């Protein structure tokens, strides 16, 4: 093994996943500089190991110990890197905390990321599932991504189109899965900013504070207030946010369901399909607040599975399967997990 890299053996991952699952990594490395990845690639033993690229661990489910090398992306740095008449370009390294980066852009006076405030995790993971919340997705403002390719050893740039973004999806979950590490992300933020109040909750929160013409920071504060009310803090109770994606169905399926369930929340998509609210479907099946051993469904949001303390990844996965079976039996809709199973 490469003695010049500070690789730790049999390392606990409990503090590295927001479910708080007590799994271990055979080998673990804090990646503080991109050239460490080149060294790994140049070492036959290290290259042969199964590899897990890890950010904040807020969108993974560890189903057991990891028999390989965990690369914890810890590179730091954020800066404005250019501008033109319409746009300011800002770049952040993969290891920066996402929310801290959003707050930094707002402190510089740059709007554009405020609806994505308080999403846990790292900058480098944000493009992986095209993080989204409150009427915005990272694809709306992402300019480019720098990646290191483990198969070629080459560092290159992908522009927005090359990332093939879709709802909770990107090229990094498909063709490039496991092949590249994201090193940094560049955003194109608009100089002529307009508030995005498409999501009713955000508009209502601002109205409740009598704010008619919000600043980016005020939109951020509103999003933070809503999220804090609805979602569990992983430091208090283990979770990975939404455990399932919202299912996308045809208009015909929506119509059939609506006839039987008039209260069904359904959101028409630009391509004619319809997004259903997985949280509502799970809630209707009576799962909200239920516990199966140490695994459970959050009492305020049925889409969030939680670790009440001491749950294994398999406990959470088993509960998820029970919920999937119930929703399928009752509504004929197949739920797909959002976190990555490791």
Cβ atoms of residues 298 and 239 within 8 Å: yes
Residues from 103 through 122 that contact ligand FAD (CB under 6 A):
119-122
At 119, is the secondary structure helix, strand, or coil? coil
Name the minimum Å distance from CB 256 to ligand EPU: 19
Name the minimum Å distance from CB 121 to ligand EPU: 10
**CB-based contacts of 311: which residues, under 8 Å, 6+ apart?**
19, 21, 238, 293, 294, 295
Hey, which bits of the chain come out as E strands? 8-12, 24-31, 51-54, 60-61, 66-73, 78-83, 87-93, 132-133, 136-137, 142-149, 155-159, 180-190, 238-242, 248-249, 266-268, 274-276, 291-292, 295-297, 304-307, 340-341
Q: Which residues are the active-site residues? A: 168, 242, 338
d(CA 138, CA 92): 14
Which C-beta is closer to ligand EPU: that of 148 or that of 298? 298
> Is 61 a binder of ligand FAD (CB under 6 A)?
no
> Is 133 a binder of ligand FAD (CB under 6 A)?
yes
Cα Rg of the chain (Å, integer): 21
Which C-beta is closer to ligand FAD: that of 59 or that of 105? 59
Hey, which bits of 174-262 come out as E strands? 180-190, 238-242, 248-249
Torsion of CA 96, 168, 71, 89, to 10 degrees: -30
> Is 186 a binder of ligand FAD (CB under 6 A)?
no
Residues from 265 through 324 that contact ligand FAD (CB under 6 A):
none
Which C-beta is closer to ligand FAD: that of 34 or that of 264? 34
* Binding piece for ligand FAD, criterion CB under 6 A, among 153-161, 192-200, 231-239, 261-269: 231-239
Which C-beta is closer to ligand FAD: that of 124 or that of 214? 124
How many CB atoms lie under 10 A from the CB of residue 235? Answer: 9
Which pair of tokens denotes residue 222? 């509103």
Select the residue interacting with ligand FAD from 13, 78, 94, 158 (CB under 6 A): 94
Select the residue interacting with ligand EPU from 6, 265, 286, 332 (CB under 6 A): 265
Site residues (CB under 6 A) for ligand EPU? 133-134, 230, 241-242, 245-246, 265, 277, 279-280, 283, 288, 301-303, 338
- Residues making contact with ligand FAD (CB under 6 A): 18, 52-60, 73, 94, 119-122, 124-126, 128-129, 131-133, 181-182, 231, 234, 239-241, 340
């Amino acid at each position: 093994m490469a003695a010049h890299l500070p690789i730790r053996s049999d390392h606990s991952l409990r503090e590295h996943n927001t479910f708080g699952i007590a799994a271990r990594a055979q080998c673990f490395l804090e990646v503080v500089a991109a050239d460490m990845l080149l060294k790994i690639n140049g070492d036959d033993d290290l290259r042969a190991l199964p590899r897990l690229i890890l950010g904040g661990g807020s969108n993974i489910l560890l189903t057991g110990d990891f028999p390989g090398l965990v690369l914890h992306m810890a590179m730091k740095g954020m800066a404005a890197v250019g501008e033109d008449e319409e746009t300011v370009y800002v770049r952040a390294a993969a290891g920066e905390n996402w929310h801290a980066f959003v707050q930094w852009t707002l402190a510089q006076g740059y709007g554009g990321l405020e609806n994505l405030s308080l999403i846990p995790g790292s900058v480098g993971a944000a493009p992986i599932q095209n993080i989204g919340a409150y009427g915005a997705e990272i694809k709306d403002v992402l300019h480019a991504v720098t990646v290191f390719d483990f198969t070629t050893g080459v560092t290159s740039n992908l522009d927005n189109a090359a990332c093939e973004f879709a709802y909770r999806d990107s090229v990094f979950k498909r063709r490039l899965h496991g092949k590249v590490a994201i090193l940094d992300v560049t955003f194109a933020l608009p100089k002529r900013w307009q508030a995005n109040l498409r999501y009713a909750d955000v508009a209502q929160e601002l109205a409740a504070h009598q704010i008619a013409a919000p600043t980016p920071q005020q939109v951020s504060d509103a999003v933070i207030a809503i999220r804090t009310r609805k979602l569990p803090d992983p430091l208090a109770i283990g979770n990975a946010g939404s455990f399932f994606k919202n299912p996308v169905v045809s208009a015909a399926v929506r119509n059939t369901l609506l006839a039987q369930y008039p209260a069904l929340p359904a959101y028409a998509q630009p391509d004619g399909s319809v997004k259903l609210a997985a949280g509502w479907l799970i809630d209707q099946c009576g799962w909200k607040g239920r516990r199966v051993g140490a695994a459970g469904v959050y009492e305020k949001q049925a889409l969030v599975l939680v670790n009440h303390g001491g749950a294994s990844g398999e406990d959470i996965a088993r509960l998820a399967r029970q919920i999937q079976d119930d929703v399928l039996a009752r509504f004929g809709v197949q739920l797909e997990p959002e976190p990555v199973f490791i």
